[in-house]
Amino acid sequence: MEQVKILSPATVANLVCGFDILGLALNEPHDIMSIRRIDAPEVEIKNLDSFGLPAEASKNVAGVALLAMMEKLDDGRGFEIAIEKKIMPGSGIGSSAASAAGAVVAANKLLGNIFSNEDLVQFAMNGEKLASGVKHADNIAPCIYGGITLIRSIHPLDIVSIAPPPLFVTIVHPQIEVRTSDARQILRKQILLKDAIRQWGNIGGLITGLMKGDYELIGRSLEDVIIEPVRSILIPAFNEVKFKCKEAGALGGGISGSGPSIFMLSTNEKTARNVEAAMIEVYTKEGIEFHTHVTTVNTEGVRVAN
Ligand code: HSE
């Protein structure tokens, strides 16, 4: 194989109560990447969009992920990668993860799939480290595996795939920037035992609800008493958006990753569209620029483009 072209999906990390351990892949939007091997032991990056991301491999999330893979390969060769980002950087729907995970999945396909999915997650997490200062896999894993993933542990890596029932996802991205590194720094380092008890009740409830297809339980469990109260102050009209979306029929939702996007889950497309209308109404009234997406769960993860 000379060249591989892939589509790398956006993802929603945390799923409200599962900070750093839960994530879901989306069918829309996705980045488009083409990769081929070159004889020099380096990563050449061509950015085909107007986001102005660094082209220097050591400063680019896809670049550092590929450099980590090359260190393991140690065959004296490198990669040339062309990246067309459709997922806006800093949107909270896994833009950096899509670049890093897409790059290493595409490279692995070129190499005849010599690396396991766990290896790919390890390589791609270097991109998250560059982007946010911390290795976390809650965007990377669903991007690579598809569906919903639980990161039971990072050291050692232990990823569990959870097959969800049919779900529609509505996203609103208010056009403000929240840097993941900032959104992590403001978090409290210690939490109360009573909050931890409530949170792990919700995580257990959410996973059980997803596995049993119990929408009521999913809805009840989409509650975060630890991260959301701190981070939601960074997102304009957060509480109103959430209230209006639930009124429009959403099961529930909250901050997507570290924000500023907000996501909501619904059981059917009609409700998901009503939820989108509620989001549009709030942000239009607030005079804030925004983008919305109505999509479904991507069960495949990064895939080869036709
Ligand atoms: N779990 C991460 C966070 C996801 O919330 O900081 C952001 O990429």
Give the strand pairing for 78-84 and 43-47.
Answer: parallel
Question: Does one domain contain both 178 and 218?
Answer: yes
Any alpha helices (H) in 74-192, and if so which ranges? 95-110, 117-132, 140-145, 180-185
| pLDDT range class, residue 118, cuts 50, 70, 90 | very high
Choosing from 11, 149, 180, 271, which is the catalytic residue?
A: 180
Query: For residues 239 and 242, what is the distance between their CA atoms, to the nearest angstrom?
Result: 5
Question: Does one domain contain both 37 and 158?
Answer: yes
| pLDDT range class, residue 28, cuts 50, 70, 90 | very high
| Mean pLDDT (whole number) for 240-263 | 98
Query: For residues 53 and 44, what is the distance between their CA atoms, to the nearest angstrom?
Result: 13
Percent of the chain scoring above 90 in pLDDT = 96
Determine which residue's CA is closest to atom 6 belonging to ligand 1: 258
| Mean pLDDT (whole number) for 173-192 | 92
Distances (CA, A) of 55 to 49, 51, 52, 133, 135: 12, 11, 9, 19, 22
* pLDDT higher than 90, residue 144: yes
Distances (CA, A) of 37 to 5, 34, 107, 230, 286: 13, 11, 8, 45, 49
Q: Do 202 and 218 touch, CB atoms closer than 8 A?
A: no
Question: Does one domain contain both 184 and 61?
Answer: no
| Mean pLDDT (whole number) for 82-103 | 96
pLDDT digits (tens, 9 = 90+) for 154-179: 999 999 999 999 999 999 999 998 88
Cα of 257 to ligand 1 centre, how many Å? Answer: 5
Question: Does one domain contain both 125 and 181?
Answer: no
Pocket test for ligand 1, best of 132, 185, 227 (most atoms within 8 A of CB): 132
Any alpha helices (H) in the chain, and if so which ranges? 61-73, 95-110, 117-132, 140-145, 180-185, 193-212, 215-221, 228-231, 238-247, 269-286
Cα of 250 to ligand 1 centre, how many Å? Answer: 23
Q: Do 59 and 130 touch, CB atoms closer than 8 A?
A: yes
Question: Does one domain contain both 104 and 206?
Answer: no
pLDDT digits (tens, 9 = 90+) for 33-47: 999 999 999 999 999
Question: Does one domain contain both 148 and 242?
Answer: no
Question: Does one domain contain both 105 and 133?
Answer: yes
- What is the model's pLDDT at position 36? 97
* pLDDT higher than 80, residue 306: no
Query: For residues 95 and 43, what is the distance between their CA atoms, to the nearest angstrom?
Result: 20
Residue 263: closest CA among 177, 174, 165? 174
pLDDT digits (tens, 9 = 90+) for 196-247: 999 999 999 999 999 999 999 999 999 999 999 999 999 999 999 999 999 9
SS3 171: strand
The owner of tokens 């529930």 is: 252
- Give the CATH number for residue 254: 3.30.70.890
Asked about 128 being catalytic, the answer comes back as yes
Question: Does one domain contain both 144 and 18?
Answer: yes
Global pTM?
A: 0.96
- What is the model's pLDDT at position 64? 98
| pLDDT range class, residue 134, cuts 50, 70, 90 | confident
What single letter denotes the amino acid at residue 106? A
Question: Does one domain contain both 146 and 25?
Answer: yes
Q: What ligand 1 atom has the least distance to the C-alpha of 227?
A: 5
Number of domains forming the structure of the chain: 2
Question: Does one domain contain both 24 and 133?
Answer: yes
| pLDDT range class, residue 181, cuts 50, 70, 90 | confident
- What is the model's pLDDT at position 246? 98
- Give the CATH number for residue 29: 3.30.230.10
Domain holding 101, by residue range, is 3-163+299-304
- What is the model's pLDDT at position 177? 85
Question: Does one domain contain both 159 and 178?
Answer: no
| pLDDT range class, residue 132, cuts 50, 70, 90 | confident
Query: For residues 293 and 287, what is the distance between their CA atoms, to the nearest angstrom?
Result: 19
Query: For residues 44 and 82, what is the distance between their CA atoms, to the nearest angstrom?
Result: 8
Q: Do 179 and 90 touch, CB atoms closer than 8 A?
A: yes
Asked about 180 being catalytic, the answer comes back as yes
Q: Rounded to the nearest 5°, which phi and psi values hold at 93?
A: -120, 40
Structure token digits, residue 152: 């039971």
Question: Does one domain contain both 11 and 137?
Answer: yes
- 155 contacts: CB under 8 Å, gap ≥ 6: none
Determine which residue's CA is closest to atom 8 belonging to ligand 1: 257
Q: What is the mean pLDDT of the chain?
A: 96
Cα of 22 to ligand 1 centre, how many Å? Answer: 10
pLDDT digits (tens, 9 = 90+) for 49-78: 999 999 999 999 999 999 999 999 999 999
SS3 189: coil
The residues facing 3 across adjacent strands are 36
Determine which residue's CA is closest to atom 4 belonging to ligand 1: 257
* pLDDT higher than 90, residue 180: no
